Copies of this chain bind each other. A is one copy, B any other.
Amino acid sequence: MFDDMIRHPATWLEGNGTEAEIVLSARVRLARNISGLRYPPIAQQEDREKVLAYAEDAITYGKDFLKGRLLYVNDMDIIDRDFLIERHLVSPEFMQNASARGLYIGPEEKLCIMINEEDHLRIQAISSGLTIEDSFDEASRADDFLSKRLEFDFDDEFGYLTSCPTNVGTGMRASVLIHLPGLVLTRDIENVISRITKLGLAVRGFYGEGTEVLGNLFQVSNQTTLGRSEEDIIESLGQVTNQIIDYENEAREKLFRDARDQIEDKIWRAYGILSNARILTSEEVMNLLSAVRLGYGMGVIKDISLNVINELLLFSQPAHLQKYLKMKMGAEERDFARAKLVRQKLAKSVASG
């Protein structure tokens, strides 16, 4: 399974959706809980196992749509777990406790379902570019299929019930992973984040809540799940995202107009270091790739595909690197192997570009 995943990078990495140069991916997740069973934060082992068994049954029953595979966290070693976190298929929290936790992964990784995370089920769909509707459709279809065998806790007044009150209602979190180097360089990012926050959206780092911003990648998501329809939330996130894209493009135009040489210098130096360095940390790769991605977006670097930039972003992460090279490595070995992989992929990209 994992080897397959390495060979066929996730669909959301293809860089072919709408606005895919700035918006890496759109994601929708639905929180659902099965009636009559205690919610994960207070569940006994027995409850958790029931949830897992019920979910497994519902997935099997829905196999016309749910054609992927079910994995168990218990079967995974630490690298597998980190691999899935890096791939943005699961939350870091999900991997901290293996007990009765299952993970369904659909074909091309468009869909996944975490079983016994904070809620009984977390249905997630992810797609490349500004494609929130696509992800919502995918997640909704999964929800429909699961509902055929499972009864979810639903309150007529509140909507779906969840472990944490912030998810009650639609149980939905829609988000985009968006690359904003222009706004960071012009130092307008703080203003933009503050404006987004006032509109009721949250801005987070690369790996979600409480994580650092790396490579100028931001996750923007809805805060509110209650009192609004799914369609309303998605429309509003789409509008705000389009607004952010406009701001980012304005920032890039401004940079190109006022500091073109400096920006091109920054972009090409990043490219030069990535193509030549012998030691690279994953953090440095993310920051350098950010500049190369900006270069691609501004038409400065042409001999490279967005696909390769996205792939490198993922494959330079520690667990991906070890899976890809099929060996366990310490931090120093990884930095060396990472630099080699980056050089090879870039050389190949340019040669075939």
Contacts and interface: CB of A to CB of B under 8 A. Distances in A.
A339 interface: yes
A273 B276 CA distance: 9
A188 B327 CA distance: 38
Contacts of A278: 261, 264-265, 268
Name which of A276, A277, A339 has the most chain B CB atoms within 10 A of its CB: A276
A287 interface: no
- How many copies of this chain? 2
Nearest to A263: B278
Q: Is the interface of A mostly helix, strand, loop or mixed?
A: helix
Contacts of A271: 276
Interface string A276-314: 111100000000000000000000000000000000000
A314 to B, nearest CB: 23
Interface residues of A, number: 17
Contacts of A264: 278
Contact of A268 (B262, B268, B269, B277): B277
What are the 8 closest A-B residue pairs judged by CB atoms, nearest first? Answer: A272-B276, A272-B272, A265-B278, A268-B276, A265-B279, A264-B278, A272-B273, A269-B277
Interface of A: 261-262, 264-265, 268-269, 271-279, 336, 339
16 contacts: A261-B279, A262-B279, A265-B278, A265-B279, A265-B339, A268-B276, A268-B278, A269-B273, A269-B276, A269-B277, A272-B272, A272-B274, A272-B275, A272-B276, A272-B277, A275-B276
